[in-house]
A and B are shown apart, each in its own frame.
Chain A
Amino acid sequence: MAPLLELRGITKRFPGVLANDHIDLTLEKGEIHALLGENGAGKTTLMNILYGLYSQDEGDIFVNGNKVTINEPTDAIKAGIGMVHQHFMLIPVFTVTENIMLGEEYVKAGGFLDRKKAAAKITEISDKYNLNVNPDAYVRDLPVGTQQRVEIIKILFREAEILIMDEPSAVLTPQEVDELFKIMRVLVDQGKSIIFITHKLREVMECADRITVIRGGKVIGSTTPKEADTKKLATMMVGRDVQLKIKKTKSDPKETVLNVENLRVMNSQQHLAVDDISFNVRAGEVLGIAGVQGNGQTELVRALTGLLPPTEGKIEILGQDTPQEKPRFITELGSAHIPEDRQKDGLILAFPVADNLILNTYFHEPFSKGITLQFDEIANSGNALVEKFDIRTPSVNTPVSNLSGGNQQKVIVAREFSRPIKLLIASQPTRGLDVGSIEYIHKRLMAKREEGCAILLVSTELDEIIQLSDRIAVMYRGKILDILDAQDATKEVLGLLMAGIKPSDEMKSQAKHEEQIILT
């Protein structure tokens, strides 16, 4: 029998890039097929072709053995294909019903919307797959996990048989991810089929029936979770051996470098984003701040780096009070900042690499004398840093915008690490980077810790936090719920904290115990 879906020789060229190179892929009825690959490997491009957002240059798509032409999302919907996008395609000011029926509206005589009938069908689907969604709620009032379920219903509403899920776990807490995997199982048990796109090895091992690895736009191979292990998958993904676990020596924290007491910060909408936070970071240790995105981490970092004045509280860097100081004063004290949005806050994209490397030192000798910049010095220092930090760029005069994400991040790291620093505030330092670059950045961070730098690491990636941190603080709705020693922190406990639930001590030790059993 022909497979439910078959892609044959799909090729897509973007100017200067071969995004998909003769990709073959099959999906059988009732399976979860994971598409594993690094960022930029071409997974999303392939799925956008399948969903009609892009059109392929070569290759054919078959559904149930019949060739289909997909030029528009409508064609994909007709062929029974639906997609949950990485960035939700939901309209916040519309209700769940309006969002779901958009494009496939139920109408009464005269063209009037039949919201009741659509809501009834949504409730029916929601009950059938246990999705628990209220059709009359406004999407802007729903938590992220529920919004994702709305996206899933949107597909089921169109009676799709094939669901594409593009990095669905990126925005969820670990508990929500578990919930999602359960839902995916239910869907598959009821006869639907799922293509699951991800770059997270753990998730693939946990929920896929079959795994196809893509690298550089090509299919590298297919396997199953039974036959493969994470090490092997990582090697397939990156194309060389990768050190997944960073070796961490025991920390030896010295004097306090950053001290925060009772800090309160308002966000731009004048809501309290950081609510009465106290913590400290000492020389030679990494304090990780975990939490689902949007729980005040951004505002915390902006307050610490002088970009957003706090409303109340104390910030001390190396014994200096800094809440009212300008960012330059804070950087000159010996603090470095890797911002979460490297393109917006970390770099000036139109400037060349060399200029970006001196953004916070250009006013010092030897880069400037009097009122003039010393171009030779800037170029020399730029070349040296490019060499030292292995930044892949044609020259130091290339605009940073032409570099890949990983190399852009290396430019920031090079700039910050080339100064004598005592405090590093790193916010999402590896977001959107490939495994190779992540490995590199992690090594650099650990090297700084060895040198005795105090590091505040803010990340939404639990794996990263657990691997690198000595202590872990979990932020939820602007508060730090708890600060744990890294040895005591399990994913389970951190996940509960990230969802705003304070686990009891019994639960903590229980979880620890279970994890040890699994590990041994």
Chain B
Amino acid sequence: MADTKSMQIENKQVDKKKTKSHRITFGIIYLVLAAFIWIVFVNGTDTSILTTFNMTPGGSSAYMDDWIFPTASTLSTLAFICAIAGAYQIIRGFGKFTNGILALVAGIFIFSFLSWASSGGSINLAGLLRVTVVRAVPLTLGAMAGMLCERSGTVNIAIEGMMLTSAFVSTVIASLTNLWIGMLAGVLTGGLIAWIHGVLTIKYKVDHTISGTVINIFATGITSFLSSKFLQKTDYQYLNEPGMFPQIDIPVLSKIPFVGPILFSHNMYVYAMFLLVPFLTVMLFSTRWGLRLRSVGEHPKAADTLGINVIKTRYMAVILGGMMAGFAGTYFTLGSSGRFDELLTAGRGFIALAAMLFGNYHPVGAMGAGLLFGFFDSLSAKASILKVPIPSDFLGMMPYLATIVVLAGVVGRSQAPAAAGKSYDKESL
């Protein structure tokens, strides 16, 4: 037992060394951000200028007064807070609050940027956050789709293709029948494509990335072809009029000023996201089903020796993941645009995978990442209205830059399931 102890102590020492360099890096980053707020934002702003944040999104009944504050003095205070955090981080470190402080400093920086960008004018903060939530939906759902697959050992980069195809199918079916049947058709389409991915990777042991790429290319081709041949032609317009799920205002909750319109005044996709995240978390980490699913993705041979059917479990997880991706796909048409256009998913399936990694294969983390990406997404759309000397395209790059930074391991490396991407061969040891 002495062995265990000395090993743990050694591990701790290694961790300590690592955290020390991490600690100092973070501290320096905080200081740089503080300096940036000070030099760029505060210095360029006259002391008399005010910033106005509108706290009510357009068309909402839950009214809240605008938030008006003097730009320069507020920003100075925020820069000061960042600097203190940085100094403390270098000298002592925040221990278990490290990630919380990191989020706080990042939040302060973004807030400062917004204040500066809208100084002398106004920005609709509530509207910005409302759009953030909406944009997070396909990313979070897509990330959870990828998570179901990868947690069980199958890499699925075909989320994009599954979304696109299901968006197409749901549009046509919903146009012919109704929204719910259309949505269901989209979910089944996702499941069907995932089954093909499963057959290729689980049964025929094709490289998972290749199978996924093939599916993506196929989905792009077939939907673009059928769309240009039918959906975009005036003769067939009746196939491209699915309608949209209506906005549902949650009684009472949606009347809360500021928060209400941001969180509780959406169509059913946003609520589905809010429900699916905790549901999947509980399923994955607290049930027999989840334990077995994860075991198959970590060490299939071990699961097999304990009588768990690896192949069946993997098929089940991949198909469920595909259905989740299919559901996410129907959001684009039935929840957002109300019609199908070529390539309307615009790479969101891949961003969803980034959100999955960013969120460390955890549903809650995935939603956090989805919201972050969604925020930049909605910010880049807003930025074109603001009189900021930064091109909105640059802001549009922010989510991807953030992904690169995260994947490079700055905020602690995400832990992929050990057997992800490896097909299982029963007779080999």
Chain A interface (Cβ < 8 Å from any Cβ of B):
51, 53-54, 72-74, 77, 83, 85, 87, 89-94, 98-99, 102-105, 107, 111-113, 132, 141-143, 145-146, 154, 271, 477, 499-500
Cβ–Cβ contact B306 & A53, under 8 A: no
Contact count band on B: 20 to 34
The answer to the question of B48 belonging to the interface, with a C-beta cut-off of 8 Å to chain A, is: no
Contact of A142 among B4, B308, B429 (CB under 8 A): B4
What 10 pairs across the A-B complex have the smallest Cβ distances? A103-B306, A74-B307, A89-B302, A105-B288, A91-B298, A91-B299, A73-B307, A103-B307, A111-B287, A89-B305
Shortest distance between the CB of A216 and any CB in chain B (Å): 20
**Max chain A Cβ within 10 angstroms of own Cβ: one of B8, B299, B304, B306:** B306
Of B85-93, B244-252, B289-297, B380-388, the segment with at least 4 beta carbons within 8 Å of chain A is: B289-297
CB pair A111 B288 closer than 8 Å: yes
Closest to A105 in B: B288
Asked whether B301 is an interface residue with its Cβ less than 8 Å from the other chain, the reply is yes
User: Contact between B4 and A94 (Cβ–Cβ < 8 Å)?
Assistant: no
Residues of chain B within 8 A (CB-CB) of A107 are 287-288
Q: Closest A residue to B283 by CB, please name it.
A: A111
Asked if A92 and B8 make an inter-chain contact with CB atoms under 8 angstroms apart, the answer reads no
Complex: A51 Cα to B306 Cα, angstroms: 10
Whether B295 pairs with A112 at a CB distance below 8 angstroms is no
Asked if B305 and A132 make an inter-chain contact with CB atoms under 8 angstroms apart, the answer reads no
Cα A112 to Cα B290 in complex, Å, equals 10
Complex CA distance for A47 and B292, rounded to whole angstroms? 25
Q: Does A103 contact B292, Cβ atoms closer than 8 Å?
A: yes
What distance in Å separates the Cβ of A42 from its nearest Cβ neighbour in chain B?
14
Alpha-carbon gap, A146 to B8, bound state (A) = 14
Tell me whether B418 is interfacial, beta carbon within 8 Å.
Answer: yes
- A53 lies within 8 A of B305 (CB): yes
Q: Which of B6, B288, B289 has the most CB of A within 10 A?
A: B288
Query: Taking CB as reference atom, which chain B residue is nearest A107?
Result: B288
**Do B298 and A93 touch across chains, with their CB atoms under 8 A apart?**
yes
In the complex, the chain A residue whose C-beta lies closest to that of B415 is: A93
Once the chains bind, are B303 and A145 in contact (CB under 8 Å)?
A: no
B295 close to A146 (CB less than 8 A): no
Chain A residues lying within 8 Å of B235, measured Cβ to Cβ, are none
User: Are A83 and B305 touching (Cβ within 8 A)?
Assistant: yes
B418 is contacted by which of A74, A92, A98 (Cβ under 8 Å)?
A92
B64 to chain A, nearest CB (A): 41
Residue of B nearest to A145 (CB): B3
Instruction: Say yes or no: is B65 at the interface (Cβ < 8 Å to chain A).
Output: no
CB-based contact B288/A499 at 8 Å: no
For B286-328 the 0/1 string (1 means CB < 8 A from A) is 1111011011001101111111100000000000000000000
Q: Which residue of B lies closest to A269 (CB)?
A: B14
Per-residue A-contact encoding for B128-141, CB less than 8 Å = 1, 0 else: 00000000000000
Known: A105-B291, A142-B4. A89 touches B298 (CB 8 A): no
Contacts of B299 in A (CB 8 A): 89-91
Q: List, in ascending order, chain B residues with CB within 8 A of A54's CB.
A: 427
Are A73 and B305 neighbours in the complex by a CB distance under 8 Å? Answer: yes
CB-defined contacts of B415 to chain A, threshold 8 Å: 93
CA distance A499 to B11 in the complex (A): 17
- Given A91-B295, A102-B291, A102-B302, 13 new contacts (CB under 8 A): A53-B426, A73-B307, A74-B307, A89-B299, A89-B302, A90-B302, A91-B418, A93-B415, A99-B302, A102-B295, A102-B308, A105-B288, A113-B291
User: Hey, which chain B residues are within 8 Å of A104, CB to CB?
Assistant: 306
The smallest C-beta distance from A182 to any residue of chain B, in angstroms, reads 15
With A102-B295, A104-B306, A143-B4: A112-B286 Cβ-Cβ less than 8 Å = yes
The answer to whether B1 has its CB under 8 Å from any CB of chain A is yes
A485 CA to B302 CA in the complex, in Å? 43
9 contacts between A and B (CB under 8 A): A74-B307, A91-B299, A94-B294, A94-B295, A102-B292, A103-B303, A141-B4, A143-B4, A500-B3
CB atoms of A113 and B292 under 8 A apart: no
Task: Give the most central of A54, A87, A143: most B CB within 10 Å.
Answer: A143
Within 8 Å of chain A (Cβ to Cβ): is B7? yes
Cα–Cα, bound, A160→B318 (Å): 34
Please, which residues of chain A bring their CB within 8 A of the CB of B4?
Answer: 141-143, 146
Complex alpha-carbon distance, A477 and B6, angstroms: 11
Docked-complex contact B288 and A87, CB < 8 angstroms: no
> Contact: B305 with A143, CB < 8 Å?
no
Whether A98 touches B429, Cβ cut-off 8 Å, given contacts A73-B307, A89-B301, A92-B418, is: no
In the bound complex, residues from chain B placing their C-beta under 8 Å from that of A113 are 286-288, 291
Q: Which residues of B contact A51 (CB under 8 A)?
A: 305
Chain B residues in the interface with A (C-beta under 8 A): 1, 3-4, 6-8, 10-11, 14, 286-289, 291-292, 294-295, 298-299, 301-308, 415, 418, 426-427, 429
A145 to B303, CA, bound (A): 21
Bound: A212/B302 CA distance, A: 28
- Contact present for B308 and A111 (CB under 8 Å): no
With A103-B308, A111-B289 as known contacts, state yes or no: A143 contacts B303, CB within 8 Å.
no
Cα–Cα distance between A155 and B289 once the two chains are bound (Å): 21
Which A residue's beta carbon lies closest to that of B286? A112
Bound Cα distance from A51 to B287, whole angstroms:
27
How far does the alpha carbon of A505 sit from the alpha carbon of B418 in the complex, in Å?
A: 46
User: Is there contact, CB below 8 Å, between B3 and A499?
Assistant: yes
Residues of B within 8 A of A499 (CB): 3
Docked complex Cα distance between A91 and B4 (Å): 18
Say how far B412's CB is from chain A's closest CB, in angstroms.
14
Chain A residues near B427 (CB-CB < 8 A): 54
For residue B272, give the distance in angstroms from its CB to the closest CB of chain A.
22
Contact B429 A141 (CB under 8 A): no
Q: Is the CB of B304 within 8 A of A73?
A: yes
B4 to chain A: closest residue by CB: A143
A104 to B305, CA, bound (A): 12
Give CA–CA (A40, B250) in the complex, Å: 69
A140–B295 Cα gap in the complex (Å)?
14
Query: Which residues does chain B contribute within 8 Å of A102, judged by CB atoms?
Result: 291-292, 295, 302-303, 306, 308
Which chain A residues border B304 with CB–CB below 8 Å? 53, 73
A74 to B14 Cα, complex, angstroms = 41
**Cβ A98 vs Cβ B291 within 8 A:** yes
Name the distance in Å between A291's Cβ and chain B's nearest Cβ: 14
What CA separation (Å) do A244 and B426 show in the bound complex?
37
Q: Which of A94, A143, A146 contacts B298 (CB 8 A)?
A: A94
The distance from the CB of B394 to the nearest CB of chain A, in whole angstroms, is 34
In this complex, what residue of B is CB-closest to A48? B429
- Residue from B286, B287, B305, B426 within 8 A of A85 (CB atoms): B305
Chain A residue contacts of B294, Cβ below 8 A: 94
User: B306: which A residues are within 8 A, CB to CB?
Assistant: 73, 77, 89, 102-104, 154
A499 to B10, CA, bound (A): 15
* Closest residue on chain B to residue A141 by CB atoms: B8
| B6 proximity list for chain A (CB < 8 A) | 500
Using Cβ atoms and an 8 Å threshold, which residues of chain A touch B291? 98, 102, 105, 113
- Knowing A92-B418, A111-B289 are in contact, say whether A141-B3 is a contact too (CB < 8 A): no
Of B4, B298, B302, chain A has the most CB atoms within 10 Å of the CB of B302
Residues of B near A72 (CB, < 8 A) are 307
Give min CB distance, A441 to chain B, whole Å.
24
Considering the chains assembled together, what is the distance between the CA atoms of A85 and B304 in angstroms?
12
Of B11, B298, B302, B308, which contacts A141 at CB under 8 A?
Answer: B11
Cα A102 to Cα B302 with chains together (Å) = 9
| A73 CA to B427 CA, complexed, in Å | 13
Residues of chain B within 8 A of A89, CB atoms compared: 299, 301-302, 305-306
Contacts of A154 in B (CB 8 A): 306
Chain A residues, Cβ within 8 Å of B308? 102-103
Tell me the bound Cα distance from A154 to B14 in angstroms. Answer: 31
Please tell me which one of the listed residues B10, B289, B302 contacts residue A91 in the complex, with CB atoms under 8 A apart.
Answer: B302
Q: How far is the CA of A107 from the CA of B291 in the complex (A)?
A: 12
Chain A residue nearest in CB terms to B429: A87
CB neighbours of A103 from chain B (8 A): 292, 303, 306-308
B247 to chain A, nearest CB (A): 33
Q: Which residues of B contact A98 (CB under 8 A)?
A: 291
**A270 to B, closest residue via Cβ:** B18
What's the least CB distance linking B5 to chain A, in Å? 10
